Structure 1
Amino acid sequence: MLDGPINGQAFVAWVEQFLAPELRAGGIVVMDNLSVHKVAGVSAAIEGAGAALRYLPPCSPAARISTRLSRCLPS
């Protein structure tokens, strides 16, 4: 457990130790554009497990639930 913000080194360790062992060949991991998601080692660990890594577009209103909900709610 970390107390405070995560850094790239800690995130890579988490991906290697916890996420990658749970992945299946052909799986897809989707991440946002947080800088720690793009440090060296993240994609290698995921792809080494046989999964693909995809990033959300920098501005993805369709992925934001608040945007979708606001369309359904009265003004």
Structure 2
Amino acid sequence: MYGWSKRGERVYGERQGKRGKKENLVAGRRKNKKELIAPMLFSGSLNAEGFEGWLELYLIPALTIPSVLIMDNAPIHRKTRIKKIVEEAGHTVLFLPTYSPDLNDIEHDFSALKRARTYASPGVSIDEIIRNYCVA
């Protein structure tokens, strides 16, 4: 949102330029299902150690059958470490080619969730938005 005023005069509007606290979501997804696996909300940013911890503690135990995990090339996805974690648990990992977000289905889910969050009524929690998205 932009605002203009004469030099030295204040701009008044409905929103401040300051952003609120940063919230993030990490989750797995089953192919062809709008179901998030092991979703975890957190404040701040996610680093490689945090992602690997989530992978080991939450996602891998939630997988009930041998699965193929598809990952993009985000800097936090350290290929050798992730491959070791996934394969030791009896699963397979596939890394997508660089710059291929359209091949990663969960990116479409995250986009839809961000859009739903933008248009949600004030006071609606992100948990409720995620639940409504997965049920729809």
Gaps of 5+ in 1: 66-75
Native 8 Å contact 2:71 2:95 kept in 1: yes
Percentage of matched positions with identical amino acids: 29
Letter in 2 for 1:59: Y
Give the structure with the higher percent helix.
1
What are the Cα deviations for residues 12-67 of structure 1, in whole angstroms up to 9, with x where unaligned? Answer: 100010111123554100010001112653222111111101011113376278xx
Matched, 1:7 2:7: no
**Which stretch shifts more, 43-52 or 8-17?**
43-52
Letter in 1 for 2:93: L
* Matching residue of 2:85: 45
After superposing on structure 2, the runs of 4+ consecutive aligned residues of structure 1 that deviate more than 6 Å are none
Matched, 1:57 2:101: no
Bigger Cα Rg: 2
**More RCO (CA 8 Å, sep 6+):** 1
Matched, 1:31 2:75: no
TM-score, normalised via structure 2 length: 0.41
Gaps of 5+ in 2: 1-40, 106-136
TM-score, normalised via structure 1 length: 0.68
